[in-house]
């Protein structure tokens, strides 16, 4: 586990350290996922072409990854290219993004290794250009032995199709098992396969089956939506939205997001630890009627108006 490695907090910049000192190191999230948005707007504000916004965005990726590795964040997942980006953006922009990704990987594998970062991918990556896939594979193998932060790039990714792929995988596995056992799928379903299919079966069949769900999801550039990212996995994630555009986002801002996260009260649908009421000291509702009437009645001055 990354947490067994010597701390690299001293490598943070002075500004980052001043925020890190406010954090509780025992409550650093296990997994942060980021929707990197605002590259186009960043470029537009400077009367530059959108491409330059993406290029600057790639710089932010490396800054943020290195800060994440210095604080021993185990999992960082970045939404780099969605299925919808692939289908709906002009061909020239898509091919620029592919070139940028390839150059980014070639140019940064050494830095990934220097920072003990392991690279991984999620999404329908088999539909990306072959030369991009080859570079991705190379970068993944070249960093496979690293034990620090796992940087997962979501590429040609869509959460709904991830769920579809998971269901297909479950059905394929079931068909294979029936074949191996020499029985029908129906036989297996009747013999308990249907009853034992639960949330953990689906979680394990997702691209992220080996990862913990994100504790924190960050979105840059102020948009308040999830855009088909990790829909299943973020059921209980804390959401942090910043107006900062992705090309202006740095490690410092990741630490600010973690500070904000640490101020939240995560309840996962329950109550917080201090809210356990002792049943034997609870008063019957009939004895509380006056109290309820006073609490719920509008203040007199208001009700007279």
Short-list 36, 156, 33, CA closest to 98: 156
Nearer Cβ to ligand FPP, position 146 or 220?
220
Q: Is 274 a catalytic residue?
A: no
Shortest spacing between CB 228 and ligand FPP, in angstroms: 13
Q: Which residues pair with 216 in a beta bridge?
A: 32, 238
85, 86, 115, 146: which is the annotated catalytic residue? Answer: 85
Give residues 240-279 in contact with ligand FPP (rule: CB under 6 A).
246
Short-list 182, 115, 99, CA closest to 147: 115
Contact call for residues 136 and 121 (beta carbons, < 8 A):
yes
Contact call for residues 37 and 84 (beta carbons, < 8 A):
no
- State which of residues 33, 34, 98, 101 lies at the interface with ligand FPP (CB under 6 A): 101
Q: Going along 36-103, which residue ranges are E strands?
A: 75-82
- State which of residues 31, 54, 118, 250 lies at the interface with ligand FPP (CB under 6 A): 54
Nearer Cβ to ligand FPP, position 153 or 193?
153
Q: Is 156 a catalytic residue?
A: no
- Residue 37 annotated as binding? yes
Q: CA-to-CA distance for 186 and 169, rounded, in angstroms?
A: 17
Does residue 85 interact with ligand FPP by CB under 6 A?
A: yes
Short-list 254, 268, 259, 252, CA closest to 24: 259
Q: Which residues are annotated as a binding site for Mg(2+)?
A: 37, 238
> Would you please indicate which residues are annotated as catalytic (active-site) residues?
37, 85
- By CB under 6 A, name the binding residues for ligand FPP: 36-41, 54, 57-58, 61, 80-81, 85, 100-101, 104, 153, 221, 246
């Amino acid at each position: 586990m990354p947490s067994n490695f010597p701390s690299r907090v001293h490598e943070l910049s002075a500004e980052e350290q001043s925020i890190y000192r406010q954090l509780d190191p025992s409550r650093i999230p296990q997994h942060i996922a980021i929707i990197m948005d605002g590259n186009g707007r960043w470029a537009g504000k400077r009367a530059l072409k959108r491409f330059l916004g993406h290029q600057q965005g790639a710089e932010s990726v490396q800054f943020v990854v290195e800060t994440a590795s210095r604080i021993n964040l185990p999992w960082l997942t970045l939404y780099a290219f969605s299925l919808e980006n692939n289908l709906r953006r002009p061909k020239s922009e898509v091919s620029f993004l592919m070139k940028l990704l390839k150059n980014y990987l070639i140019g940064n594998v050494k830095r990934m290794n220097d920072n003990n970062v392991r690279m991984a991918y999620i999404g329908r990556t088999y539909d990306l250009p072959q030369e991009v896939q080859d570079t991705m594979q190379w970068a993944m193998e070249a960093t496979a032995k690293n034990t620090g932060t796992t940087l997962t790039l979501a590429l040609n990714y869509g959460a709904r199709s991830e769920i579809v792929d998971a269901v297909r995988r479950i059905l394929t596995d079931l068909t294979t098992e029936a074949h191996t056992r020499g029985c029908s799928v129906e036989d297996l379903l009747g013999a308990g396969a249907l009853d034992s299919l639960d949330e953990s079966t689906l979680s394990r069949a997702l691209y992220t089956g080996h990862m913990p769900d994100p504790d924190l999801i960050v979105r840059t550039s102020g948009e308040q939506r999830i855009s088909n990212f990790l829909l299943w996995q973020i059921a209980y994630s804390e959401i942090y939205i910043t107006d900062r555009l992705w090309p202006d986002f740095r490690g410092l801002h990741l630490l600010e997001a973690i500070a904000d996260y640490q101020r939240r009260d995560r309840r996962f649908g329950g109550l917080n630890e201090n809210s356990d009421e002792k049943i034997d000291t609870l008063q019957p509702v009939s004895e509380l009627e006056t109290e309820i009437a006073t609490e719920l009645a509008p203040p007199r001055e208001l009700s007279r108006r």
